[in-house]
């Protein structure tokens, strides 16, 4: 067999229906694609960022950058975290990566031996689990609690960790949270965050906090970075340009390991080795993001306008979905996803995968199945398109549900 055993984990449920959708497009069908969370498709990357990229090219910034990240970007990240969260990260605490995706690969490769584990919460961002498994790890599954608005029940988490067999607990390396969450759109409260940090500390788990949507919050939600609360507790913050700077295609992410304890020092040194092993991240994109991050007034204008648009669309789509009695939905207050629970029995489908597949084939609307996020009986809708497109798609979803409800009888 030419392929490795671990290669079977390389898959992404968000894109698994793309071949079907592409086939429908080829046949001339108008497919509404609400599966990929790609903001620039609907909110063009701000002009000042595009111009910064063009300037970097004109200035011939086309060489390999410093492997851990161009100084200019590292300094911009340092300043951003000091300004926004009061976090003082030294230059060697910041590693620039090709998106948070690469950062996750580095972290797993640096920390996970065969048979090790990590605490991940359902519903999770779908790449967390395959990336852990590819490196020989396996998840210890916690869960966000839908009944309490997708928060984390810290007492339950604490009980779960205490009940782990000693051999398994010893091999648990990190605890990973997503705040704000993809797919639920939930922003964790400061209190819950503090409780999670205390629990992770008690169990000697490194905290990894994926904060890629930290500036995309609305409906009165207040975001807190793990770095504001986890003083003296080893943690890694993940972020990047994809969402806040509306530039997914630049492929710029970064990790911060702000603490200076033995664990944090070993991790940051090793992550720098990983960066050196792949030479460089896209250099002009790093200069563009550095300029964007340093231009506070332009960024403020751009992010305000994008978040206002996202909130309007997400709230609109949530209201429409909530009107259909087959769905139960927790209102999102961050990121740009809606994650309703579907009453599959009432419409006669055996799984969320079947729902999503039939919806695409019958109504030409592409969603992602909740089971891809570890939460069967849910669907994820990307609420980025303008309201007329979202309204059209949700109308199609409703027609689809009505048709199938009728056909299963009373
Ligand atoms: C929670 C979360 N983490 C990471 C990523 C990947 O980000 P990047 O574009 O920086 O690789 C995404 C993309 O949607 C995401 O939602």
**Domain co-membership, 90 together with 128:** yes
Q: Could you tell me if residue 51 is inside a domain?
A: no
Q: Cα dist. 87→90, 93, 256, 258, 283 in Å?
A: 10, 11, 10, 8, 26
Nearest to 35 by CA among 57, 16, 58: 16
Predicted TM-score of the model (pTM): 0.96
Could you give the CA distance from residue 70 to residue 57 in angstroms, rounded to a whole number? 15
Q: Residues with Cβ within 6 A of ligand 1?
A: 37, 99-101, 125, 178, 182, 210, 212, 240, 242, 248, 253
Final residue in a domain of this structure, among 258, 280, 295: 295
Q: What total of structural domains would you count in the chain? A: 2
Which residue range(s) make up the domain with 257? 62-295
Could you give the CA distance from residue 94 to residue 75 in angstroms, rounded to a whole number? 9
Q: Once rounded to an integer, what is the mean pLDDT over residues 314-327?
A: 96
Q: Once rounded to an integer, what is the mean pLDDT over residues 386-397?
A: 97
Q: What CATH number is attached to the domain comprising 328? A: 3.90.1150.10
What is the 397 CA–ligand 1 centroid distance (Å)?
26
| Average pLDDT over the chain, rounded to an integer | 96
Question: Best substitution site from 101, 209, 310 to test ligand 1's pocket, by max atoms within 8 Å of Cβ?
Answer: 101
Asked if pLDDT for residue 157 goes beyond 50, the answer is yes
Q: What CATH number is attached to the domain comprising 181? A: 3.40.640.10
* Tokens encoding 300: 């403020």
**Domain co-membership, 367 together with 333:** yes
**Domain co-membership, 133 together with 270:** yes
Ligand 1: nearest atom to the Cα of 100: 10
What is the 150 CA–ligand 1 centroid distance (Å)?
19
Could you give the CA distance from residue 397 to residue 395 in angstroms, rounded to a whole number? 5
Final residue in a domain of this structure, among 295, 316, 333: 295
- Torsion over CA: 313, 315, 316, 322 (sign): positive
pLDDT at 405: 87
Q: Could you tell me if residue 409 is inside a domain?
A: no
Question: Best substitution site from 242, 337, 368 to test ligand 1's pocket, by max atoms within 8 Å of Cβ?
Answer: 242
- pLDDT tens for residues 262-299? 999 999 999 999 999 999 999 999 999 999 999 999 99
What is the 1 CA–ligand 1 centroid distance (Å)?
32
pLDDT at 407: 61
Contacts of 14 (CB under 8 A, 6+ apart): 35, 36, 126, 368, 372
DSSP 8-state secondary structure symbol assigned to residue 45? P
- pLDDT tens for residues 100-127? 999 999 999 999 999 999 999 999 999 9
Q: Once rounded to an integer, what is the mean pLDDT over residues 154-180?
A: 94
Check: CB of residue 187 under 8 Å from CB of residue 334: yes
Question: Best substitution site from 39, 77, 125 to test ligand 1's pocket, by max atoms within 8 Å of Cβ?
Answer: 125
**Domain co-membership, 28 together with 143:** no
Final residue in a domain of this structure, among 266, 295, 324: 295
Poorest-pLDDT segment among 33-37, 126-130, 263-267, 403-407: 403-407
């Amino acid at each position: 067999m030419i392929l490795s055993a671990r290669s079977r984990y390389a898959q992404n449920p968000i894109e698994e229906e793309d071949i079907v959708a592409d086939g429908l497009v080829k046949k001339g069908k108008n497919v509404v694609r609400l599966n990929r969370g790609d903001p620039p498709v609907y909110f063009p990357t701000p002009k000042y960022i595009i111009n910064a990229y063009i300037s970097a090219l004109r200035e011939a910034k086309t060489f390999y950058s410093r492997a851990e990240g161009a100084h200019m970007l590292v300094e911009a990240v340092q300043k951003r975290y000091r300004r926004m969260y009061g976090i003082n990260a030294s230059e060697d605490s910041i590693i620039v990566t090709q998106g948070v995706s690469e950062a996750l690969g580095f972290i797993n490769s640096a920390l996970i031996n065969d048979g090790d584990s990590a605490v991940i919460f359902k519903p999770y961002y779908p790449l967390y689990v395959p990336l852990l498994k590819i490196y020989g790890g396996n998840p210890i599954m916690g869960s966000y609690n839908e009944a309490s608005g997708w928060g984390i029940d810290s007492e339950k988490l604490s009980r779960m960790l205490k009940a782990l067999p000693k051999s398994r607990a010893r091999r648990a390396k990190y605890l990973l949270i997503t705040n704000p969450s993809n797919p639920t759109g939930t922003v964790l409260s400061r209190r819950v965050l503090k409780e999670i940090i205390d629990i992770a500390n008690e169990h000697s788990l490194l905290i990894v906090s994926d904060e890629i949507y930290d500036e995309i919050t609305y409906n009165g939600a207040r975001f807190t970075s793990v770095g504001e609360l986890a003083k003296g507790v080893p943690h890694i913050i993940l972020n990047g340009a994809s969402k806040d700077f509306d530039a997914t295609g630049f492929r710029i992410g970064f990790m911060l390991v702000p603490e200076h304890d033995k664990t944090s020092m070993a991790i940051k040194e090793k992550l720098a080795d990983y960066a050196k092993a792949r030479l460089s991240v896209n250099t002009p994109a790093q200069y563009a993001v550095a300029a964007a991050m340093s231009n506070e007034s332009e960024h403020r204008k751009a992010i305000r306008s994008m978040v206002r648009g996202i909130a309007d669309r997400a709230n609109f789509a949530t209201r429409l979905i909530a009107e259909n009695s087959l769905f139960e939905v927790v209102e999102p207050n961050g990121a740009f996803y809606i994650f309703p629970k579907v009453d599959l029995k009432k419409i006669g489908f055996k799984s969320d995968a079947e729902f999503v597949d039939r919806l695409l084939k019958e109504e030409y609307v592409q969603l992602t199945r909740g089971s891809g996020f570890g939460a069967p009986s849910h669907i994820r809708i990307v609420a980025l398109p303008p309201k007329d497109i979202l309204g059209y798609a949700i109308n199609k979803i409703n027609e689809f549900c009505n048709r199938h409800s009728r056909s299963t009888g009373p």
